[in-house]
A and B are shown apart, each in its own frame.
Chain A
Amino acid sequence: MSDELDQLPHTEPVRDPGLPEHQYRPTDVDPAQDKRAERQISGMFTVASLLLVGFCVAYIMIDKDQTFLGWSAMNFTLGATLGGAMLLMGVGIIQWAKKLMGDQEMIELRHPASSSAEDRADTLKQLNDGINESGFGRRPMIRRSLFLSMGFLALPTVIMLRDMGPLPYGHRNTVWKKGMRVVNDVAGTPIKPSDLQVGQLVNAEPAIMYEMDEEGHPVLHGTELLAAKSKAAVIVVRMRPQDISPAKGRENWGVDGILCYSKICTHVGCPISLWEQQTHHLLCPCHQSTFDLADNGKVVFGPAHRPLPQLPLAVDSEGYLIAVSDFTEIVAPSYPELARDQKRLDDKS
């Protein structure tokens, strides 16, 4: 070591004094300390054993409804005994290493990560022998056709993923249809305009979500229902008619100041119902896009780009709110074909 250091050029302002002399721990020199550490460590292991037995006792004895400090007693006791035991075992082992195990610092020499020139030459020779014996270099036809087939191997790998899902279909309709009733979410009850006061918000759904087929089963259920909801959920709000400034063509989309908008944010699709009845602003809790419901769902803040789609409303013969048609704008987050689909939708209407 020191020989090597002496050969270094003396350009450094301070020369390496070398490893300092080893200093001993109290446990190395004082048998009493040594004994004490030993007792301390085995004490930790013993308590850990007791805690682990306690874990089993708690598992058997504690009822899962019991509480402790307003927490589940089971969860707390099992965690505290298990965690305490593990922590004591860990601390004990580390303490053993720190206080009692060998303490002499050791030196290991490093070698460059690279192989020696000799090793490289040897390996290269072996590689060349292998390649030459295979004739890989001399037989380009075999080589190229092998590469070709390997390239083609990618095809089945990719094509096998084809049935991961259907191809995206064109315009994504919602389940809203002309004449479908707007019903209160959860309860499924139809809504009359007179049920709504100015400043009221109703979280609503299309009536089909609460309809039963002939056999008495829901028409939509499970993930089918979720998929329908993720596009068709709406909010119905009532404002003073004079506060609303409908866009051209939308003058008749409301009923006495009652308007219906998609509940699905046009940004990334969170359901939005944080409606401020005085400012008429609707806030998305996920990324804070804000829409003005008195102004055709226009974006007034945040990362959403497209206004919130509005559902044209009317009243049926029994006086309940119904949809005049499906949405005339694409609901839910944007996707690459949106512009094309929107154009088709515009052409249709």
Chain B
Amino acid sequence: MRKLSTRRRHPLAGIAVLLVALGVVGGVYSAVAPEPAKAATASTQDVEAGRQLFLIGCASCHGKNASGIETKRGGNYGPSLIGVGAAAVDFQVGTGRMPMAKTAPQAPKKDPEYTAEETRQLAAYIATLGAGPAIPDDEYTDTSGKTAEQISEGGEFFRTNCTACHNSVGAGGALPNGKYAPALDGVSAKHIAEAMITGPQQMPVFSDDVITPEDKSNIIAYIQQVQDQPNYGGMGGGGLGPVVDGLFTWIIGIGGLVIAAVWIGAHGARVKKK
């Protein structure tokens, strides 16, 4: 993907991009992004390095000025990234979803193409294009001191807002036409928080005004709890529920007991003479 995009490496994007971006942002997002971007801490070198990385690896789909490329039918080849914020970049690039390897119903999670440093630079660059959510800090992701009450509260939020798609132990679930809600095991607290804030792909946004940062950290603590706690009853079947229980019933249960029946009914060794 990155190699393919090298031919698009024109020095066209520059200050003009920033101006266009800021204009669009000011118009569309001031109403819906009440929280100011926190990306100001990134250095200008980071932004410039991020811009270079963007032009090499991302611009072929998202456009040289990151305002997106429309297909002939009016759909999005790659959506506009203006105002998506550093959090979206960190999630999409940090979980390997971006750059996409091929067109598919949705971008799958894979090994990241960029290093943590490059991801930070890309995020810094995108954050300068328009106000958007920053990479969540400890307020969202620190679950070390959570009490049982907070975890249990997080569980209530999780069951109300998350399990319908991601399943009660975060095993994931199906969406229409080949899309899916991914499994949550092994996903870092930061990425879970980013997904809630930014609403990647088909996932809706859960903004801080509705689900507060503390609620979010409680949810994350609950997810960690259900994934780290023992499978008290034994092998869990991946948390997929009664379908797997049914498979076990037939394959292990009926399979095993029919083998026992065959043994009981078998005639056994015989000898010719007494």
Contacts and interface: CB of A to CB of B under 8 A. Distances in A.
Direct contact of A and B (CB under 8 A): yes
Interface of A: 23-26, 28-30, 67, 70-72, 75-76, 94, 98-99, 184-187, 189, 191-192, 194-203, 237, 271-279, 281, 283, 285, 288, 290, 301
B72 interface: no
A275 B202 CA distance: 8
A79 to B, nearest CB: 8
A201 B204 contact: yes
A312 to B, nearest CB: 21
Interface string B172-212: 01011001010000000000000000010111111101111
Given A72-B230, A76-B234, A186-B160, A196 B210 contact: yes
The 4 closest A-B pairs by CB, nearest first: A201-B204, A195-B209, A276-B202, A23-B270
Contacts of A189: 210
A275 to B, nearest CB: 5
A274 B165 contact: yes
Nearest to A79: B234
B230 A23 contact: no
13 contacts: A25-B268, A28-B274, A71-B231, A187-B157, A192-B209, A194-B209, A195-B207, A196-B209, A196-B210, A200-B210, A273-B161, A277-B203, A283-B175
Contacts of A196: 32, 207, 209-210
A201 B205 CA distance: 6
Given A23-B272, A276-B202, A277-B205, 16 more contacts: A28-B274, A71-B231, A75-B232, A184-B210, A187-B211, A187-B215, A195-B207, A196-B207, A196-B209, A197-B207, A200-B206, A200-B210, A203-B161, A237-B204, A283-B175, A285-B173
Interface residues of B, number: 44
Interface in B33-56: 33-34
B160 A203 contact: yes
Contacts of B201: 278
A197 B268 contact: no
B234 A94 contact: no
B31 interface: yes
B264 interface: yes
Contact of A274 (B34, B175, B206): B175
Nearest to A235: B204
A281 B156 CA distance: 25
Contacts of A28: 271, 274
A75 B233 contact: yes
B269 interface: yes
Interface of B: 31-34, 153, 156-157, 160-161, 164-165, 173, 175-176, 179, 181, 199, 201-207, 209-212, 215, 230-235, 263-264, 268-274
Given A24-B271, A75-B232, A274-B164, A186 B204 contact: no
Nearest to A65: B230
Nearest to B76: A278
Contacts of B232: 71-72, 75
Contacts of A184: 210-211
Nearest to A72: B232
A72 B268 CA distance: 40
Contacts of B32: 194, 196-198
A129 B103 CA distance: 88
A67 B234 CA distance: 10
Given A271-B164, A277-B199, A285-B173, A70 B205 contact: no
Contact of B269 (A26, A70, A191, A278): A26
A272 B230 contact: no
Nearest to A184: B210
A29 B270 CA distance: 10
A273 B263 CA distance: 51
A199 B270 contact: no
Contacts of B156: 186
A237 B173 CA distance: 21
B205 A75 contact: no
A311 B31 CA distance: 24
A228 to B, nearest CB: 16
A70 B231 contact: yes
Given A72-B230, A185-B160, A194-B34, A200 B207 contact: yes
B270 A272 contact: no
B265 to A, nearest CB: 10
Given A71-B234, A200-B205, A281 B176 contact: yes
Contacts of A29: 271, 273-274
A72 B234 CA distance: 7
A25 B207 CA distance: 77
Nearest to A204: B210
Contacts of B176: 276, 279, 281, 283, 288, 290, 301
A198 to B, nearest CB: 6
B233 A72 contact: yes
Given A25-B270, A201-B204, A274-B165, A70 B230 contact: yes
A72 B233 CA distance: 6
